[in-house]
Every structure is written in structure tokens, then in C-alpha cells.
Amino acid sequence: MMLTLKEVSTSGYRSLRAITYPVGRLEVFVGANGVGKTNLYRGLELLQAAAANRLGLVLAREGLGSAFWAGTRRQGSPARMKFAATLAESSGATRFSYEIEVGFPAQPAGAFEKEPQIKSEVLSAISGGRTVRLVDRQGPSVMARSGDGRPVEIDIDLLGSETVLGRLQDPSEYSAMDAVRRTLLEWRFYHDFRTDEASPLRRPCVAVASPTLASDGANLAAVFATLSKIREDTTDLDQVIANAFPGAELFIDPPDEAATFGMTFAEFPRRVFAPAELSDGTLRFLALAGALMAYRLPPFIALNEPESSLHPDLMAPLADLIVRASKRTQVWLVTHSERLAELVGRSDGAEIRRVLKKDGATWIDGLKLFGAYAEEED
């Protein structure tokens, strides 16, 4: 069972002092450099890191001290950052709220001095106006409700930097936690596909059926081959490429031990150009096409500045890709391009959110403190 993201909350992280906002089917965040759009994106990535039991590692790589809210804190209050998400079943009858709070270790003993430590971690079920805590971790102590609904203290070997979400893996006993974890792990984040000479996009990949594009695009050729040889339908993909590159055609070779593809162009209709020969912009657009038109889309896709290195003429085809994908899954987009935002915003259901700075903190125009937009409140 995959769950739908309904709300995100982040506090104490970089430029995110405290922000809670709802998430719809197609969300577009646009704003100037330096307002913190990427920090909103990173907040989502860190939720996935918690599900993978990598949150401590990821924050340590960032440098825990520099990852905290950059502004002033109340005197005497400890440095803390919190990440939370509300997810819902397809019926909407039950929602699950997951939140995790991170800080420095209280004592050096049992932890590295600058190692991120999980201070609290809570998973709740919300149904019919009633909220029930399914998992409640406070420091080293973990309470969980098993299949019969009774809260019990869990004896689990849990380091201070590890997450319960990543460690407590028993679907038969903790089905809600399993559903939340699997959903978060299925999310995909696409940002800045490499197009240098050594990029995996430019190389053949192992020929294994690939319903979803990897975050680094390494299985792009297999994604195309899956559409061609398993679905046996590349009509939509061919149309998008023809709109983006008039007169061009994508050639998908029959997969053998490796999967490969190439392109012809109007100027050279008899010459198939291998990925190693394609321009950076062409290759990046093809990677985005693989991400957004794959055989099976993940339950949630986050795109961070997908317009980078693309020619302005590709904004309309890119917007078309994004809108098409939003008919099949949730899409969350950060962009510098007003043109791309305007094109995507023409679609029914698309929400354009303008990101700005408010008293030094990242904020979203029209957002109320309790996590609703002004027009939705009205």
C-alpha cells in the first residue's frame, strides 16, 4: 500500500525556521536565488533518509552545526531540527503522521561529540478525529502498538543516531510503520543529472527490466527498453521527443546483455548518435523523459531545477512532461524559471507557490502559520 503525501513540516533546518504546508497533486515552487527553495527540497530528502536509517549519516555529511537554523534561537533552548510528514491512504479515511527531531548528543559518552542524535520519533494514526500514537520514541525508550493495539515497550538495539522507522521492520506486527517506510523509500528525487563524459547517462546499462528511473539516471537505457520491449508502447515518449526536437527520433536497441539507445536528428536522418555524442541539454531532457514517463512511476517525484542547461525552446516540452506525470503520481517541483512555472500552471490542479524570505526565514507567499494557504482558507 503506497500512501499519498498531504502535508510537510520542517523546523530548525538551515533557512527553515518553522514551516508547515499542504501538498497537492502538482506543486510548483518558484522564487529567486537564496530564498531557500532547495532547503524545502532537502527537507523531503531527509524524511526519506530517516526511512532508510541514514538520517544521521546524511546530516553528519552536511555538518550538523551548519545544518541547524541559521538565525537566532530563544536563549537557553537547545539546537533542534524537526522533519515531519502526513500521509494518507487512497480512501482518505486514515492519515499517518510521522515526525522526527534531531539534536546534538546530551553527553559524549555513547556517541560522537558532533554526531546527530534522534531526540524523539513519533508515528501517529489519525482517523475520525482521533489520534493514536503507534510508535513513540523518546531518547533510547521506544513504545509501539503491535497488531493487537496494545502499547508495549520495545526491546530494540538502537543507537542514538539510528531511526526506529529504519530499524523496526516487522510488517505483520507494525503494518502502518511498514507502509510509511516503504512509501518514503519509493519516493524519487531528480536533481542535476550528470552529463559529463563519465556520466552513467552516456553509458550502456545492464539489461534488466526497469520500471522506474534511478535517481542518478544510471538505468535510463533500461527504462526506455522496458517501455519498448515490455510495454510495447512508446507512442507518448516518441511524441514528447518529436515536440522537443522536431525531426528527431529515439532509437531503442533490442536489449541483449546491455541496454542502449540513440537518436537521429533532422539534419542527419541516417546517422544514429549514441548517448556519448549527445549534447548535455539533449541528454538531460531524455533523462527527465525517462523519469517522468517510465513504465511505473513512484508515488512521489520531486524535481529540483529541471530546467538547468536546457534551451528555452525546451520549456514547453518539459512542462508537458511534468503535467503528464502529474496525472499518474504526485509531482513536487522547484524552479527558477518563471516561464516553466507559468506553463505548468496552466494545467488543472497545478498550484504555483512563490517562495520568499520573511524575517530571514524561508516562507511561501500566502501561507498561514497553521499550515494552510490563504485562498484555501477563504
- Structural domains in the chain, CATH included, are 4-187+352-377 (no CATH), 189-347 (3.40.50)
DSSP 241-257: HHHHSTT-EEEEPPPSS
Q: What is the 3-state secondary structure (H, E, C) of 290-305?
A: HHHCCCCCCCEEEEEC
Residue tagged 554526531 (cell numbers): 115
The phi and psi torsions of 352 (rounded to 5 degrees) equal -95, 120
- Interior CA angle at 219 toward 298 and 3, to 5°? 10
Residue range 301-324, pLDDT digits in tens: 999 999 999 999 999 999 999 999
User: What's residue 308's pLDDT?
Assistant: 93
What does the mean pLDDT of the chain come to?
Answer: 93
pTM: 0.94
Task: Decide: 306 and 276 in contact? Cβ < 8 Å.
Answer: no
Q: Binning pLDDT at 50, 70 and 90, where does residue 378 land?
A: very low
pLDDT tens digit sequence for 180-207:
999 999 999 999 899 999 999 999 999 9
Quickly state the pLDDT bin for 51 (edges 50, 70, 90): very high
Q: How confident is the model at residue 258 (pLDDT cuts 50, 70, 90)?
A: very high
DSSP state of 35: S
d(CA 253, CA 261): 6
Q: How confident is the model at residue 155 (pLDDT cuts 50, 70, 90)?
A: confident
* pLDDT score at 111: 65
DSSP class of 175: H
Question: What value does the CA radius of gyration of the chain take, rounded to a whole number of Å?
Answer: 22
Question: What pLDDT is stored for residue 105 in this prediction?
Answer: 82
Please give the residue that has the higher pLDDT: either 288 or 377. 288
Distance in angstroms (rounded) separating the CA atoms of residues 374 and 329: 25
Q: What is the pLDDT at residue 294? A: 98
pLDDT over 90, % of the chain: 81
SS (H, E, C) 30-76: ECCCCCCHHHHHHHHHHHHHHHCCCHHHHHHHHCHHHHECCCCCCCC
Element (H, E) at 273: strand 268-273
Angle at 251 between CA 248 and CA 255, to 5 degrees: 165
